[in-house]
Amino acid sequence: MISYKSKILLIPICLFLMVAIAGCSSKDEPREVWDGKLYLCLNVSSTGHAAPGTRAGDDTFFEQPELETEKMHTLRIIIVDDREYISEGKRNPFYNQIVHNKFRTLPSAAISSIDDPELKFNVEFDHDYRIYLIANEQGIPNYDKDYFSSTLRQGNFYMDGSLENIQLDAVKSGAEIVDNDNLELGVAPSLIPMTEIFNVKTKQKPIDPTLENTTQVEDLFVTRAFAKFSFIVKKSNNMADDDFHYTFRYIKVSGLTPLEFLFPKAEYGDPITIGSITGMMVNDFSLPAGNGEPGSHVFDLGRVIDIAEIVTGGNLDYRYTPQLYFTEAKGYEDTDAKFTCSLSLTGEEDDYLEAKALPNLPSLPRNTHVQIIITINAHGFDTEVTVLPYTGVNLNPSFGIDRDDDDDNPSHND
């Protein structure tokens, strides 16, 4: 039985931990006789061949990660005893003890790790456990390896709730938290961390234990911690090539804040099916206090683009996909324009047209790829937004973002 303790938010890019019934690996030596133990076996699958799905009536799609940095390379599984009382009035002396802390380097490209015999955990029958999943931990800003491997070592007691309260800080509103675009020569790009927390209740001890009924099956997943943007710039159909010859280089997106929790905290709606994928929508998520006023990020395309290069009708457009990542955000308070976009049609950084609200984007949860389509016309420009949550294999759950216009979508920071 699973419940979400720190429900993650986002659309995600979900990576799934799929638990095998018979064991962690087909290469495992089978237990010939029951050894008195209950095993929780995890097979990890991060990407698959599920076809993208489309949610009818809006511009929601699912996509698989294309960049190596957005795939799972390492995985840490921390299992904590979460049973406070053994029986009524009798406290469990091992409550909050770390019973497992295992770090694994996964196969290249993190396509799958279904044959990893190390991802098998001996646990107690009829017990409550809290499971922390951390993928690509070396990509966490200000990563402290000793904390994850030594402070949280097996046998220690986890009493301070520090994992749930780790904050990631981009330092100032509007700043990226990971820049894989502007790296010095020889510097490897940063991996994108992924996390989740689950509560798991193990089964009662069978009356007649067998090898088959002493292995528990659970489906878990991890979610990428950050969001990213990409851009498509095109000309309107009713605009002739020689109408005017503006240039542009800078695009400004506003509504971004710097702080988020490492482990997402979200509330989900009921499962829905989008295309071939069934998942849950994100109704709300919490951010740390102290985010302050949202700010802007200026995306520099690297060169001045002449609008005359763009063929009328969108047969040819300009596409920009930076490897810049941002913390999740809720945008501006007390307005429907949570996030806005503008660009300079003179090629100068400080000369922007009036900002336009980004439609279809009531919040910016982690694990979101926001594709902004800018159409230049005789009166300025218009914007469209396509939200592309990443998906893994076609398993339940995957995620989408709730964009119901009637939804009460709070914008304050919790």
pLDDT in tens, the chain (414 residues): 444 333 323 333 343 444 333 334 444 444 456 777 888 876 554 432 222 222 323 334 445 566 888 888 898 999 999 999 888 789 999 999 999 999 988 766 553 444 566 778 999 999 999 999 999 999 999 999 999 999 999 999 999 999 999 999 999 999 999 999 988 888 999 999 998 898 999 999 988 888 778 888 777 778 889 999 999 988 877 766 555 567 888 999 999 999 999 998 987 666 555 565 545 566 789 999 999 999 999 999 888 888 777 765 555 688 899 999 999 999 999 898 999 999 887 767 778 888 999 988 899 988 888 999 998 887 788 898 888 665 432 222 233 333 333 333 333 333
Cα 280 from chain centre: 14
Question: Strand, helix or coil at 24?
Answer: coil
Q: How far apart are CA 40 and CA 96, in angstroms?
A: 18
Q: Where are the domains of the chain?
A: 2-168+188-224, 227-397
Q: What are phi and psi of 213, to 5 degrees?
A: -95, 15
Q: How far apart are CA 238 and CA 314, in angstroms?
A: 11
Q: How far apart are CA 115 and CA 26, in angstroms?
A: 6
User: What would the DSSP string read from start to end of 277-317?
Assistant: EEEEEEEEE---TT--S-EEEEEEEEEEEEGGGSPTTTTS-
Question: According to the model, what pLDDT value does residue 139 have?
Answer: 96
Question: According to the model, what pLDDT value does residue 53 have?
Answer: 28
Question: According to the model, what pLDDT value does residue 269 have?
Answer: 64
Closest CA to 229 of 189, 176, 184: 176
- Does this model's pTM top 0.75? yes
Q: How far apart are CA 390 and CA 94, in angstroms?
A: 38
User: 359 vs 73, 88, 151, CA distance in Å?
Assistant: 35, 53, 45
Q: Are 121 and 100 in contact (CB under 8 A)?
A: yes
Question: According to the model, what pLDDT value does residue 267 have?
Answer: 78
Question: According to the model, what pLDDT value does residue 306 have?
Answer: 80
Question: According to the model, what pLDDT value does residue 277 have?
Answer: 53
Q: How far apart are CA 282 and CA 147, in angstroms?
A: 30
One-letter amino acid of 117: P
Q: What are phi and psi of 311, to 5 degrees?
A: -70, 135
User: 393 vs 66, 166, 396, 399, CA distance in Å?
Assistant: 14, 29, 9, 12
Where do runs of H (alpha helix) occur along 173-257? Answer: none
Rg (the chain; Cα; Å)? 24
Q: Where are the beta strands (DSSP E) in 43-83?
A: 43-45, 54-55, 60-61, 74-81
Which tens digits make up the pLDDT trace of 249-289?
899 999 999 999 999 898 766 655 556 554 556 678 999 99
Q: Are 6 and 164 in contact (CB under 8 A)?
A: yes
CA angle, 308 then 373 then 347, to 5°: 45
CA 15, 198, 404, 291 torsion: positive or negative? negative
What letter would DSSP give residue 365? Answer: -
Question: Strand, helix or coil at 212?
Answer: helix
Question: According to the model, what pLDDT value does residue 344 have?
Answer: 84
Question: According to the model, what pLDDT value does residue 5 have?
Answer: 39
* Architecture field, domain 227-397: Sandwich (2.60)
Q: Are 389 and 403 in contact (CB under 8 A)?
A: no
